[in-house]
Structure 1
Amino acid sequence: MKKSSLKKILLIFLISALALTLTACGNDQAQNENTVSQESLPEEINFGILRVPNDETIAIAEGFFDEYFTNRGIEVNTRVFDSGVEANQALASGSIDFATMGNTNAITALARDLNVELIWIHEVLGENEALAIKDGSGIEEVTDLVGERIAVPFASTAHYILLNVLKEAEIEEDVQLLDMQTAEIVAAWERGDIQAAYTWQPTLAQLLKSGSTLTDSKKMADKGYITANVEVVRSDFAEEYPQLVADFISTLSEAGDIYRNNPERAAEIAGNELGLEAEVALHQMRGTTWKTREELLNEDFFGTVDDPGNFAQVMKDTSDFLQAQDSIEESPSQETFNEYVNPEYIKMSLENDQNN
């Protein structure tokens, strides 16, 4: 055999051996990366939710949590809270990672240094929260509430709006406010212990069977008193698993699209999940405004990290009011709220969709 042919054979052999080695190393590296990725996932995620017909309820009912979390080996646990007060207690104990609550309770979470971030607005509240008055009470306008006892869950969005309703009518010192959870409000209403209450759906619907609304959160929003149901996440969780936070927002976006594209179908899904008739669920959902990810990233809401949107200012204004009412000891600074209302995970969720 010629030396040149032998050299060619040896060269081919060496190239083949090198290729096999690189392939094996590549496979090992990919396997290691998959292992690391799997090991970096938490064993479970704990969500605190409200029983309201919103995007989160639809996402759970449609199995989006399974698609994004359960199918990746993460156990999903959901705990229902009657109000954000209870959710904040759970956040303080570390027993939940995410929580849905009114923006007033999200302010309380920040003021109490619970180490959370506000990452989403489920819905801007409107007619789904209202001041109900009992039939036959003789109450026809806000000033007629003088001397009355009014039930409301304290530190809630309803409480904040009610305080402003009374303040505008200049009767805040002339009524007695009773701190009640929603089930307690219904019981007190049926016993005749109260003639008025500010609460939200579906509790509101139960009161309106024997009552009517005097004003609602939509009318107050038109005057600048904006309230919303929002999502917060523990900062430690978000720092360790930012992609899972973005994935969670993706589930909410998909669920919101169902409502935007087919409200009747969305109402049926949410109604089945909550044990409500679809018509009732749809009425409640239409009493709120649901924003897309793109809308939440504009100047009216989250804005950007470098240019915060108006919602941080709304939170600060609300916080100052709550401090004046002694609902919180100290109102955080505007700079603190600018950092608290974090648009990064919404942005990451959008970028994930664009890259897929």
Structure 2
Amino acid sequence: MDKRIRTSFIFSVIFIMLSLSVLGGCGKKEADSTTVPKEIKIGTIRVPNDQQLAKVEGYFDDAYKKQGIKVKFVFFDSGVAANQAFASGSIDFAEMGYTNGVVALNRQIPVKLIWIHDVLGENEALVARKESGVKTISDLKGKKIATPFSSTSHFSLLKALEAAGIEKDVTILDMQTADIVAAWQRGDIDAAYTWEPTLTELKKTGTVITDSKQLAQQGYMTTNIELVRTAFAEKYPQLVVDYLGALAKANNAYQKDPTAAAAKIAGSLNLTAEETLQQMKGSTWLTPQEQLSPDYFGTSKETGQFQKIFLDTAKFLKEQKSIDQVPSEKEVQSFVDPSYIEQLVKGEK
């Protein structure tokens, strides 16, 4: 073979090999961008709402297993623990009271608020021991009251005490729900503001003084919300929409047959079907369309009332020294993200 021809041949071979290598690299990059995680970790609390129903009905499995994704549920007794898990990057989704969402934003935990599970009502309440003699909020003066700090119950308790003008005349103790029951049984506390299913246990020997439904009527609405880890949402936006789809499916099932939904949840909460149904009726479940209304999220183009409530709550928590800085309106609007609900609704049409 002529030397010039041989040299040209060698360069041609090298060029082809390099081209294949580049193309192979591009193909690999494209494949990486379309892969899904092997497992999704979901933080949950034992509350009879759409997340719990979606869990027991297998709606999350329906959404993810066909994509080869395992679903793991991690129980948290409060949003404080869930926020710690988010900060360490060990969970992808979690439910909590929205006041802990305020804390998450304040601490710059990389998460977004993407769903309102329920608007709280009679399922969160202030209960006093019958033997304490407490019948009104004013009667709590000088008493010991327990609640999980930075929770919706904590916020509601402080607002109730503030309205009665006795916020400085009581002792408030920070306790998780299991500790509240134990302290109640020992007689260490006079009252507690807490949620279900702990609330049902306290009501057996206690008297309801006020609840979150009454406080909402006074302008202090509280909700349970869903947060998603920002890095997860940015990498797998469709998986976030799929998650909300499972919640919407659970909402539909509840609206069609509340009694059947309660019966399916009851066992996971160690409650009777009747107790579960009563608790579920104590809050308001929102459809995706309702969440996008001006009363709640609003839309990506026009924010709703919820962002204002969120900001007002942040100001209150700053006054209580639960957070060290009030976020700006822009920060709240970036944190409260209705875009995934919008995609869900658009896909349903």
Of 126, 139, 145, the residue aligned with 1:144 is 139
Residue 212 of structure 1 corresponds to 207
Alignment partner of 1:235 is 2:230: yes
1:94 to 84, 89, 98: 89
Partners of 1:179 and 1:221 in 2: how far apart?
23
Superposed displacement of residue 38, structure 1: 9.2
> Would you say 1:244 and 2:244 are equivalent positions?
no
- For the pair 1:226 / 2:221, whether they are aligned, the reply is yes
Residue 317 of structure 1 pairs with residue 312 of structure 2: yes
**Which amino acid is the alignment partner of residue 257 of structure 1?**
N
Deviation at 1:225, TM superposition (A): 0.3
In the TM superposition, 1:285-324 aligns within 5 A as: 285-324=280-319
Q: Structure 1 residues 280, 38: CA separation in 2 closer, same or farther (over 3 Å shift)?
A: farther
Q: How far 1:37 moved relative to its partner?
A: 8.4
CA–CA separation in structure 1 for the residues paired with 2:53 and 2:270: 13
- Is 1:305–1:339's contact at 8 Å kept on the other side of the alignment? no
Task: Give SS of 2:337's match.
Answer: coil
> For each residue in 1:35-92, what CA deviation from the matched residue of structure 2 results, as whole angstroms up to 9, or x when unmatched?
9389521111111011111111111111111111122111111100000000000000
1:182 matches 2:177: yes
Map of 2:69 onto structure 1? 74
Distance 2:85 2:281 in 1: 30
CA contact (8 A) 2:112 2:335 kept: yes
Aligned to 1:24: none
Kept in 2: contact 1:133–1:213 (CA 8 A): yes
| 3-state SS, counterpart of residue 308 of structure 1 | coil
- Matches of 2:280 and 2:332 in 1, distance apart? 28
The aligned amino acid for 2:179 is E
Amino acid of the structure 2 residue aligned with 1:318: T
Task: Say whether 1:332 aligns with 2:327.
Answer: yes
For structure 2, the 5+ residue unaligned runs are 1-26
| RMSD (CA atoms) | 1.4
TM-score, structure 2 normalization = 0.90
Q: 1:272 deviation in Å?
A: 2.4
Distance (Å, rounded) in 2 between the aligned partners of 1:63 and 1:176:
43
- What is the alpha-carbon distance in structure 2 between the residues aligned to residue 63 and residue 82 of structure 1? 22
Q: Distance in 2 between matches of 1:65 and 1:52?
A: 17
Q: Percent identity?
A: 50
Superposed displacement of residue 126, structure 1: 0.5
Q: How does 1:46-125 map to 2 (within 5 A)?
A: 46-125=41-120
Q: Shift of residue 189 of structure 1?
A: 0.5
2:160 aligns to what? 165
**Secondary structure of 1:348's partner?**
helix
2:329 and 2:51 map into 1 onto residues whose CA distance is 29
SS of alignment partner, residue 194 of structure 2: strand
Q: Which deviates the most, 83-92 or 265-274?
A: 265-274
The answer to whether the Cα contact below 8 Å between 2:197 and 2:269 also exists between their aligned partners in 1 is no
Unpaired runs of 5+ residues, structure 1, are 1-31
Q: How far apart, in 2, do the equivalents of 1:192 and 1:246 lie?
A: 46
Provide the C-alpha distance between the structure 2 equivalents of 1:97 and 1:60, rounded to a whole number of angstroms.
15
Provide Cα deviations, 1:143-173, integer angstroms capped at 9, x if missing partner. Answer: 1111101001000000000001110111111
In structure 2, what is the Cα distance between the partners aligned to 1:178 and 1:328? Answer: 18
Structure 1 range deviating more: 85-94 or 337-346: 337-346
Instruction: Tell me if structure 2 keeps the 8 A contact 1:253–1:293.
Output: yes
CA contact (8 A) 1:142 1:214 kept: yes
Aligned AA (1:110)? L
CA deviation map 1:284-313 (0-9, x unaligned): 100000000001011111111121111000
Q: For 2:233 and 2:128, how far apart are their aligned partners in 1?
A: 43
What is residue 344 of structure 2 aligned with on the other side? 349
Give 3-state SS (helix, strand or coil) of 1:342's partner. coil
State how far apart, in whole Å, the 2-side matches of 1:75 and 1:67 are. Answer: 11
Cα 1:209/1:334, change in 2 over 3 Å: same
Residue of structure 2 in register with 1:132 after alignment: 127
**Separation in 2 of the partners of 1:273 and 1:159?**
26
Contact 2:144 2:173 in 1 (8 A): yes
Give distance in 2, aligned partners of 1:352 and 1:50: 29
State whether residues 135 and 207 of structure 2, in contact with CA within 8 Å, keep that contact through their aligned partners in structure 1.
no
Q: TM-score, normalised by structure 1?
A: 0.88
How many angstroms apart in 2 are the aligned matches of 1:128 and 1:270?
A: 15
